[in-house]
Amino acid sequence: MSEGIEGLFARTEDFPNSHAAGRLAELVGLDEIMERLVADATILLDPTVMTAWSTEVHGDVVPAVTALLDRTPLFVFAGDVGVGKTEVAEVLGQAIAIHSGADVTLYPLSLTARGRGAVGEMTMLLTRAFDVVNREYARARGRDGRADSMGVLLIDEADALAQSRELAQMHHEDRAGVNAVLRGIDNMRVAKLPVLTILCTNRLDALDPAIQRRAAAIELFDRPTHEQRAALLRRLLAGTALTWADIDALAAATGESNSTSHSFTYSDLRQRLVPEIVLAAYRSKAKIDMVLALDVLARTPATRAFVATGS
């Protein structure tokens, strides 16, 4: 770990690695999003791919390609709690590393970077975090513009750090924190560093408009569809006494109904429902079958939709 990183990031993770490969394989129904994000992100590593393509098909580097390469390397992932935003953000580096052959490192901003409330502390910590990542990748590009390594800076619960400065009740320190985020991502764009910043939020409308305008991609994550729930349950419950028809019925039962307007999230299925089914079967020394699964489901409600305090 480089000097100055301690305390700023929850951890760092180098890709590719076997643990991340397993997590990436567990993502169900998000293939299209992942392919799009990987294609977008790998342009950061090798912008010559786009300039070569433009020259080949148009005879020159057209202005549209120049505009594309000048975008801020910023993704915003928005959606309800448990829909896969953070999971995708944390394993995207694995997918990029596999696709490009480059070394990728994840830098998840630690909660300590929010500070303890002292005047100027949050701004100082945010600025330091960006500076550390900048130093790591300042010399990552060769003379041809290609980079053999890439950083992913992850800011989870970003609305707490980059909430809109339009809010009348916003504290001066919070406004300064937003400015620090803007300054950090702008500096990386100007320096053309191979660093991708990802902001995850439950409330897209709470993010400062200036941050939303800069985003190269804003991905909206929904709760899984019936097909996505069924695919995940088939993967998790393979080898049990449940038939494919049983699992399809279980997927239907975890969707919206007359009694609830919200379906199960990925986290509800992976971290609550399926583990509770396994534990119930273990305690009763029985096979995992449909009767047991439905009994557990009846006492395992879906997570309610996120509603911000005061909204």
pLDDT at 159: 77
CATH code, domain with 124: 3.40.50.300
Query: Which DSSP category does 114 fall into?
Result: G
Q: Is the pLDDT of residue 306 over 80?
A: no
What is the pLDDT at residue 119? 44
Position 29 confidence tier, pLDDT thresholds 50, 70, 90: confident
Provide the whole-model pTM.
0.87
Residue pLDDT, tens place only, 35-56? 999 999 999 999 999 999 999 9
Q: What is the CATH number of the domain that holds 287?
A: 1.10.8
| Rounded Cα gap, residues 83 and 74, in angstroms | 20
Cα 53 to Cα 61: distance, rounded to the nearest angstrom: 8
Average pLDDT, whole number, for the chain? 88
Residue owning tokens 């801020």? 72
Listed range (130-134, 259-263, 269-273) with the worst mean pLDDT: 259-263
Tokens in use for 100? Answer: 């490009």
* Same domain, yes or no: 152 and 60: yes
Residue 68 confidence (pLDDT): 94
Identify the domain boundary among 206, 221, 236. 221
Q: Are residues 204 and 259 in the same domain?
A: no
Q: What is the pLDDT of residue 270?
A: 94
Residue 162 shares a structural domain with residue 91: yes
pLDDT digits over 152-191, tens only?
999 998 877 766 555 545 555 567 778 889 999 999 999 9
Query: Has residue 121 been placed in a domain?
Result: yes
Rounded to 10 deg, the angle between the 226-236 and 244-253 helix axes is 130
Residue whose entry in the numeric block shows the structure tokens 């500096």: 187
Does one domain contain both 38 and 153? yes
Domain end residue (candidates: 221, 240, 262): 221
Q: In 3D, which of 220, 200, 179, 230 has the Cα closest to residue 109? A: 200
What is the pLDDT, as a whole number, of residue 168? 46
Residue 190 sits in the same domain as residue 233: no
User: Could you tell me which residues come within 8 angstroms of residue 181 by beta carbon, excluding any fewer than 6 positions away?
Assistant: 126, 155, 161, 162, 211
Same domain, 282 and 216: no
Q: What pLDDT is stored for residue 60 in this prediction?
A: 97
**Are residues 281 and 150 located together in one domain of the fold?**
no
Q: What are 100-134's pLDDT values in tens digits?
A: 999 999 999 876 655 555 446 778 888 888 999 99
Judged against a pLDDT cut of 60, whether residue 250 lies above it is answered with yes
Residues 110 and 241 in one domain: no
The pLDDT assigned to 8 comes to 82
Would you say 257 and 213 are in contact if contact means Cβ atoms under 8 Å apart?
A: no
**pLDDT value for 26:** 86
Residue 125: what pLDDT? 82
Q: Is it the case that residue 289 has pLDDT exceeding 60? A: yes
Residue 310 has pLDDT above 60, yes or no: no
Tell me what percent of the residues of the chain surpass a pLDDT of 70: 87
